[in-house]
Amino acid sequence: MEEYEPRTIESKWQRRWEEAKLYRTEADEDSESFYIIFAYPGISGFLHLGHMRCYSYTDFIARYKKMRGYNVLFPAGAHPTGNQVISLAKRVREDDPDIIAYLKANGATDEDILFLDNPDGIIEYFSRSYIKEWKNFGIQINWDHFTYTSREDYSKFIQWQFRKLKEKDLLTQKPYYAPVCKNCGPVAVDPSETDLSKGGNAEIQEYTLLKFKFGNRYITAATLRPETVYGQTNLWVSPEEDYAVVEVAGEEWIMSEAAAQKLLYQMDDVEVTDHIKGEEMIGEKATAPMIHRDIPILPADFTDPDVGSGIVTSVPSDAPYDWIALKELKDNHGLLEKYGLEDIVKDVEPIEIIESEGFGTNPAESIIKEMGITSQNEVEKLEEATQKIYRAGFHKGKMLDISGEYTGMPVQEAKDNIKDDMLDSGEADMFYDLSEEVICRCGTDVVMGKIPDQWFIRYSDEELTEKSKAHAKKMNIKPETYANTLPDTLEWFQDRSCARLGNWIGTRFPMDKRWIIEAIADSTLYPAYYIIAKHYNDDKFQADQMTVEFFDFVYLGKGEISQVSESTGIDIEVLEKVRNDFLYWYPLDINLGGKEHMTVHFPVFLMNHVSILKEEHWPRGILVNWYLTMTGGKISKSKGGAEPIPDVADRFGIDTLRLYYAHSASPFVDKEWDEKEAFTYRKRLGFMWRLINRIKSADGGGSSVDDFLESRFNRLLEKAFSFMDDHEIRKAANVVFYDIPAELEWYFKRGGENSALLDRLGETLIKLTAPFTPHMADELGEMWDIEYVTEEQIPEVRQEAISDAAEGREEYLRSVLDDIRNILSIADVEGDTIHIYVTPSWKKEVLKKALTETEKGMGLMAVLSKELDVPPKKLSGFLRSVLEDIKKNRAAAVSAMALDEMKILQEDKSFIEREFEAEVNVHLASEDVYDPANRKDKAAPGKPAIYIE
RNA sequence: GCGGGGGUAGCCAAGCAUGGCCAAAGGCGAUAGACUCAAGAUCUAUUCCCAUAGGGGUCCGAGGGUUCAAAUCCCUUCCCCCGCACCA
């Protein structure tokens, strides 16, 4: 037997598979199709072990389905849409040392890097790198279908898709607020975003900008709690601050300079025309919105020009900051005197507006007392207090009777109503801001900007939502929890912006060429495109021939083939072939992707199918996989932290890594990468290698253990199939790599050597391993003269071989061994001779009666005592324990009945002797035999008495 | 905030839907032994506590409850984690 050398085997088989083009599959009406994809990767860096988990799962399922008789289509592509590619190229161009180091660490040469200073170079280099990595992992993708989203042909497909959405009235334009860099344009605010140098965790705040009439001008105050307007008592202004006066649509608004600068990006025709010192407003009054009451303007130093408008409306009843500031102001006589505020301030008192559970009607005051806050300098405590009150108020609060038409309304509801009313009456406007400072890579601030005519896909559409929900319920979605939540996700899924202005990679919006379709929107229907991509790759037609009529025909069956052929210049036969391929492969059986897709990609994937394709082409299944993590959190392509794959692959071998993915955790939990653990899988494969060789070298005939092995093997085979069909990858791998081998080991231990049987089961076993560890399977298959195990079918379960009786015998032996071992471990004996006493027949009689007439309970005693010649005391004692056992485990009692224990023990006596290196004597307990310790009375059906000396 | 998922023995991780073969699979680690006497190798056994005869005790985040019987069902409570739209 040769040693297991994974790397040699793996390169050998990968080469052969490639040469034989085993990945290739064609539509074939005679066999059932199975179409599976994984969510293609965006191009933003090298693949790492985290990605490979997802691709490996896809491959396990694809290979398994293939080996179960399906005709499988498993294509792949890449997704360069967006600006990641552009920013990567830019960083290379700028010789960013981090990026250069990252590229080199992953095997890029200096020459490669020269090539990577432009987006096209990046796309080409990385898509090649991805393909190489997939091949290296033995992932059997059908390369004929490969495509990526920046190709001309792909764009034709996307444009068609958007025309269809437009036709169905699912596109709309409306204003939108999104983060923009003042210099570079739109950016994403996200912790993993490489285009930011600061502030990835910032959240978008939606303020209501309240307008207070102040002479001819308006003072503005931004609030997150518009429902508290009824409790306004005053405004807080910083005396030292130099506020800007901004002209907006013929009005003059007062706000901090910083706020004014932000406003420039959110409203049209905004201009700073003047400035006003905070001091000048102190002591004056302004008319508050909604309540139309004049409230005083008071000095405060906690206002921050960078937050909101830099001016705060004060609601001391519900805002701890306001409450404590007001209190401190009242006590600060020096300050009051300075501005002449004594008379004004003494009348300012909190106004109760909301009643919330646990805090009463004056929540700010009660929480401040509760938390012992004494000064506005206790910022942390005040923040916490504010949060607590907000939560209590928002969820459980009710508006008090001061709030006019909103009286009694839950806060949750009142909030939006009050806001909308003020927006309608022009007393307020919207103002967007980021919760913390965000800086672009270029060093410029990121602010919230308005896009007045943003394109949206109308996912809120009721009909679309309902149809999608109904279909989602019919789909095969794993895990179960996601199947349950997807309909809800579809329900709250709102309109989604689908295009953006600026220089991005992607498809031009067909109705308005200024826009580029963004990355989520151009990757929803693409499984349908892979089918066409193959024919485009074969040069059957050019991109400019891919017209609306072409796609309508292929996907929707619209139009006359001859006419379509004429208008597009594509051969009729080609059109027919493409259309038939689509009909054959579609619908998609499984879309497999990471958990990050649950609330983003999968919903739109489904809804676009529902909105555009016919019902029979809507997807059948979704499978979600969780992450492979590394200490320090999620692995990120762009941020590194992951060991380059080639190094890991060399050390462990690909099959080891594949088995690691398959077995170390369920697909539906995050898994921490653990090298030591990976090594144990390397050892496991060594074990499998030797086991299969051992199987092949068997040269014996039949024995009593054969039926057991055959039965157990088929039972486990059935289990493996059912786990695979359920996408319970880990459980299936456990059966194949652990449970079945354990039974084979027992078989050998018991002296099984049936070469015919082992040959057959061994062949099935390597086929079972093939979806997981295909290289090893093919190598081992050579012993069976199989050209490609991975191209074979896994045999069906032989139901007729499954037998409780055959397995019962071995179970019984195992339990006898366990008992002997147990006794040996606690008893102080030599262990040279083992006496085994088999149950007397009357005990079997009792068990039999008890099993058939359990309900009679102890009433059986009378019957049995007549039938059996056994002392009543012994009989009742045994009967009681038998009834107990049956109650606990009826099945075990039944199988104990079926055993011919005497026969089994006598036949397998030598086996027990070998195991314990002892002499074994088997007795019948009912006979007068050697029994110095008086054990034989303990013998019961299925559990012989044992005496060791 | 909205939505979701968890807490099981030294660690990882099954089980929980359909309560009873559950002291609780499997793996890792650890211990002992075998073999080699080099190995992250391989094999065997042990690994909650007590026990010189196959037994007993305690246990599945915490606290209650239902039941003849609960890791599994119900209630309360504490603690962790994850996703959330121009990031793919």
pLDDT of residue A378: 81
* pLDDT of A636 strictly over 60: no
Question: Could you tell me the distance in Å between the CA of residue A907 and the C1' of nucleotide B36?
Answer: 35
pLDDT of residue A289: 93
Portion of chain A with pLDDT greater than 70, in percent: 95
Predicted confidence (pLDDT) per residue in A885-921, tens digit? 676 666 667 777 778 889 989 988 888 888 888 888 9
Start-to-end Cα distance in chain A:
43
Residue type, A908: D
Spell out a b/e string for A912-922, using b for 16 or more CB atoms within 10 Å of the CB, else e: beebbebebeb
Spell out a b/e string for A705-730, using b for 16 or more CB atoms within 10 Å of the CB, else e: bbbbbbbbbbbbbbbbbebbeebbbb
Q: How far is residue A262's CA from residue A204's CA, in Å, rounded to a whole number?
A: 13
Question: Could you tell me the distance in Å between the CA of residue A761 and the C1' of nucleotide B38?
Answer: 37
Question: Could you tell me the distance in Å between the CA of residue A660 and the C1' of nucleotide B41?
Answer: 20
Secondary structure (3-state) at A424: helix
Q: How far is residue A787's CA from residue A869's CA, in Å, rounded to a whole number?
A: 68
pLDDT of residue A857: 52
Selected residue with higher pLDDT from A145 and A454: A145
CB A41 within 8 A of CB A599: no
Question: Could you tell me the distance in Å between the CA of residue A62 and the C1' of nucleotide B4?
Answer: 29
Shortest-distance nucleotide from A890 CA to C1': B21
Question: Could you tell me the distance in Å between the CA of residue A276 and the C1' of nucleotide B40?
Answer: 75
| Farthest-apart Cα atoms in chain A, separation | 118
pLDDT of residue A634: 42
pLDDT of residue A195: 67
Averaged pLDDT of chain A: 87
Q: Which of A524, A648, A729 is nearest to A39 (CA)?
A: A524
Q: Angle at Cα A935 formed by Cα A930 and Cα A940, nearest 5°? A: 115
Contacts of A289 (CB under 8 A, 6+ apart): A210, A211, A212, A229, A422, A427, A428
Mean of the pLDDT values across residues A840-854? 78
Shortest-distance nucleotide from A933 CA to C1': B53
Question: Could you tell me the distance in Å between the CA of residue A872 and the C1' of nucleotide B50?
Answer: 35
pLDDT of residue A635: 45
For nucleotide B6, give the residue with the nearest CA to its C1'.
Answer: A669
For nucleotide B28, give the residue with the nearest CA to its C1'.
Answer: A677
For nucleotide B12, give the residue with the nearest CA to its C1'.
Answer: A664
Range from A260-269, A604-613, A620-629 that averages highest in pLDDT: A604-613
Shortest-distance nucleotide from A651 CA to C1': B40
Shortest-distance nucleotide from A815 CA to C1': B54
pLDDT of residue A632: 40
Token reading at A5: 């050398």
Selected residue with higher pLDDT from A265 and A154: A154
Question: Could you tell me the distance in Å between the CA of residue A479 and the C1' of nucleotide B18?
Answer: 20
Predicted confidence (pLDDT) per residue in A390-432, tens digit? 777 776 678 888 888 888 887 877 888 888 889 889 999 988 8
Selected residue with higher pLDDT from A253 and A840: A253
Token reading at A421: 């009313």
Residue A191's pLDDT band (cuts 50, 70, 90): low
For nucleotide B40, give the residue with the nearest CA to its C1'.
Answer: A679
Shortest-distance nucleotide from A691 CA to C1': B42
Shortest-distance nucleotide from A826 CA to C1': B52
Q: What is the DSSP letter of A282?
A: T
* pLDDT of A297 strictly over 90: yes
For nucleotide B27, give the residue with the nearest CA to its C1'.
Answer: A664
For nucleotide B46, give the residue with the nearest CA to its C1'.
Answer: A825
Question: Could you tell me the distance in Å between the CA of residue A535 and the C1' of nucleotide B38?
Answer: 59
pLDDT of residue A675: 78
Selected residue with higher pLDDT from A826 and A574: A574
Shortest-distance nucleotide from A460 CA to C1': B85
Q: What are phi and psi of A361, to 5 degrees?
A: -100, -5
Q: Which of A10-24, A348-362, A499-513, A775-789 has the lowest mean pLDDT?
A: A348-362
Shortest-distance nucleotide from A455 CA to C1': B86
Question: Could you tell me the distance in Å between the CA of residue A670 and the C1' of nucleotide B6?
Answer: 12
Selected residue with higher pLDDT from A381 and A697: A697
Contacts of A344 (CB under 8 A, 6+ apart): A283, A296, A298
Residue A643's pLDDT band (cuts 50, 70, 90): low
* pLDDT of A245 strictly over 80: yes
Predicted confidence (pLDDT) per residue in A447-503, tens digit? 888 888 889 999 999 999 999 999 998 898 888 888 888 988 898 888 998 988 877
Question: Could you tell me the distance in Å between the CA of residue A825 and the C1' of nucleotide B58?
Answer: 22
Question: Could you tell me the distance in Å between the CA of residue A599 and the C1' of nucleotide B24?
Answer: 37
pLDDT of residue A347: 87
User: Which positions of strand B lie within 7 Å of protein CB atoms?
Assistant: 1-6, 12-14, 20-21, 25-29, 40-46, 51-54, 68, 81-88
Selected residue with higher pLDDT from A751 and A541: A541
Question: Could you tell me the distance in Å between the CA of residue A74 and the C1' of nucleotide B3?
Answer: 32
* pLDDT of A358 strictly over 70: no
Selected residue with higher pLDDT from A653 and A828: A653
Token reading at A236: 């807080």
Residue A368's pLDDT band (cuts 50, 70, 90): confident
Range from A470-484, A528-542, A594-608, A921-935 that averages highest in pLDDT: A528-542
For nucleotide B88, give the residue with the nearest CA to its C1'.
Answer: A42
Question: Could you tell me the distance in Å between the CA of residue A888 and the C1' of nucleotide B67?
Answer: 15
Shortest-distance nucleotide from A498 CA to C1': B86
Mean of the pLDDT values across residues A859-863? 70
Question: Could you tell me the distance in Å between the CA of residue A886 and the C1' of nucleotide B64?
Answer: 32
3-state helix, strand, coil in chain A (%, to 5): 50, 15, 30
Residue A441's pLDDT band (cuts 50, 70, 90): confident
Q: What are phi and psi of A826, to 5 degrees?
A: -110, -20
For nucleotide B85, give the residue with the nearest CA to its C1'.
Answer: A600
- Beta-carbon-side half-sphere exposure of residue A38 (alpha carbons within 13 Å): 26
Shortest-distance nucleotide from A940 CA to C1': B54
Mean of the pLDDT values across residues A14-36? 95
Q: Which of A103-117, A200-214, A334-348 has the lowest mean pLDDT?
A: A200-214
**CA A705: distance to chain centroid?**
45
* pLDDT of A642 strictly over 70: no
Shortest-distance nucleotide from A677 CA to C1': B28
Question: Could you tell me the distance in Å between the CA of residue A688 and the C1' of nucleotide B49?
Answer: 37
* pLDDT of A11 strictly over 80: yes
Token reading at A84: 């990641």
Spell out a b/e string for A488-514, using b for 16 or more CB atoms within 10 Å of the CB, else e: ebbeebebbbbbbbeebbbbbbbeeee
Residue A641's pLDDT band (cuts 50, 70, 90): very low
pLDDT of residue A891: 66
Question: Could you tell me the distance in Å between the CA of residue A565 and the C1' of nucleotide B6?
Answer: 57
Residue A138's pLDDT band (cuts 50, 70, 90): very high
Q: Which of A209-218, A345-354, A436-445, A764-773 has the lowest mean pLDDT?
A: A436-445
Shortest-distance nucleotide from A479 CA to C1': B5
